[in-house]
Amino acid sequence: MKKIVCLAVSLTAFAGFAQNNKSVEFTKKLSYKIEMAEDSYKGFSESDYSNINYDHYLDKNNKESLLSFYYNDASAASYGGSESNFFVSKNWMIPLSVSGISKSVNYTPYSAFKVLNDGQSVTKLDRKGTIGGKNCQYYAILRDIDNKESYDYCFCIDESNKINNVESVFPDSKLKGLILSVEYNTETSYKLVYKSSQDVNVKLDIESDKISADIKEYQESLKLEAYTDYPVDVAEAAVEPDTAYGDYSNIYSDPLYSYNYDGNELKDYSLYTYISPIYSITTTSLYNTKEYGGGESALNRDQIASFYKKETKSLVKNLKSAKIITADQKKELDQFFKAQNEKIKNFVPNQPIDYTETEVVEAWAAPDTADYIDTYDYYTKYQSNYQDIAVNDIDLAYDIDVKDNEQIKQYAPDYCDNLKSKIPNFQNKSLSTHVHNLTGQICDLYLYNNGGNVGYFETINSMRKSYLEIEKLRNTLSQKDQKLLLEFIKNLD
């Protein structure tokens, strides 16, 4: 079975979303968390692992559900992708991208995979557990029906619980109850553990019958193709749904799908904020290309590659023109995108790849510990260089963003609007400059992660510089300036 990797969600689709008049209503949300053994953090705290949300949304009949995994920490989200969604229905898992505005969805039939392959079943294991004070029975999907240790993952299910998310995942198993944990069958020290539940009202434009029909049609086309293209004695082996196309579907390795960390990483972690939106578009668009099963009328991968090349070049130019990034940051982004464009040019889609055999529950499982810890290597190390900053021309992200979108004003204090005109008429002109800069950078900081294009570390450093200069001036200020300064700061809000 194909290894499940993150599917980024885009709010601005390069390709069209699937529209329909039907919807699925999810009425309950179950939240899970990563739980680690005390000796497994390797220098990191438990909070380092708490910035990923694992949610399972259930419909009112427990027949269909949605697995949704996303970062609740914005800096991590900008680095690693936004969100992964898997619609679970009739023994199929279908990766979806969801429009946050219209709640419509985008999917492709070939990306769907079975929860249980033919001949597989959920088997009761010879052990019980207690998770969060609740008793549970362990189950697993066995590779070998005669060997109860031949599984990759196991579930501990509270069969007496009124909450029932087992049925939606394994509809043919006749099991009911609450999945309390998902655990590896290895010495791995982390597991996914049930945390809480709440009633919700989430509707998505998902026409499940149409999705099922599309998947069936696609699987039948694979069988027909296999029968036509292969000798009879090979055809039977070629039509297994999970392998017939999967052996050649290396979309997850495509550099247009995600930026892999292989020595070409950005040293300035904050720059990932600017590149993630582009990958949100290219990732979604790849599913609608001829190379990856989109059909004859679909896009060509070359079109996505051309879009990427033009968009990244324009992005860097506009960021520098708006003084959102520095000359050094521009140079680093240029080098990064040059390397990525070279990878994109040389990548050959649909080459045979060797998938590691895993069960469907990998969609529930936590990232590999070592891989997850590696992401922290990219945080920006602190450097004490704010004292060297020259505050002359004051360029605020707030002023630039408001020109593009008036709505953004509501996310910052009222004083930020036309701030320059509100600075008191200080006798000391240097004081005027630094008060303007300090209060303006505060405006920018309110917009960081709140709709604005803000350089986080640059904003903090600029604030500290002006704060330092104001303090250095304080003893030399006239009584008038001191009074004006105090009144201005007191009355900002």
Give the orientation angle of helix 479-490 with respect to helix 429-447, to 10 degrees.
Answer: 10
The three state secondary structure string of 423-434 is CCCCCCHHHHHH
Average pLDDT over residues 219-237: 53
Which residue, 114, 106, 119, is CA-closest to 18?
106
Q: In the prediction, which pLDDT does 355 show?
A: 42
271 falls in which pLDDT band (50, 70, 90)?
Answer: confident
Percent of the chain with pLDDT over 70: 73
Q: How far apart are CA 446 and CA 441, in angstroms?
A: 9
Better-predicted residue by pLDDT, 80 or 216: 216
Which residue has 């990878």 as its token pair?
Answer: 343
Residue with structure tokens 């570390």? 457
Give the pLDDT score at 415: 94
> What confidence score (pLDDT) does residue 234 get?
38
How much of the chain exceeds pLDDT 90, in percent? 26
Higher-pLDDT residue of 189, 290: 290
State the pLDDT confidence band at 393, using cuts at 50, 70 and 90: confident
Task: Record the pTM.
Answer: 0.46
Say yes or no to pLDDT of 180 above 90: yes
pLDDT (average), residues 392-404: 83
pLDDT of residue 223: 64
**Residue pointed to by tokens 């953004």:** 408
Helices 397-404 and 429-447: angle between axes, nearest 10 degrees: 50
* CB distance 119 to 329 below 8 Å: no
DSSP three-state, residue 190: strand
Condensed to tens digits (0 to 9), the pLDDT of residues 418-439 reads 999 999 999 999 999 999 999 9
Reported as half-sphere exposure (CB side, CA atoms, 13 A), residue 391 has a value of: 27
pLDDT in tens, 25-64: 999 999 998 887 665 544 445 555 567 788 999 998 888 9
Which pLDDT belongs to residue 285? Answer: 80
How many Cα atoms occupy the beta-carbon half-sphere of 85 within 13 Å?
Answer: 22
* pLDDT score recorded for residue 99: 61
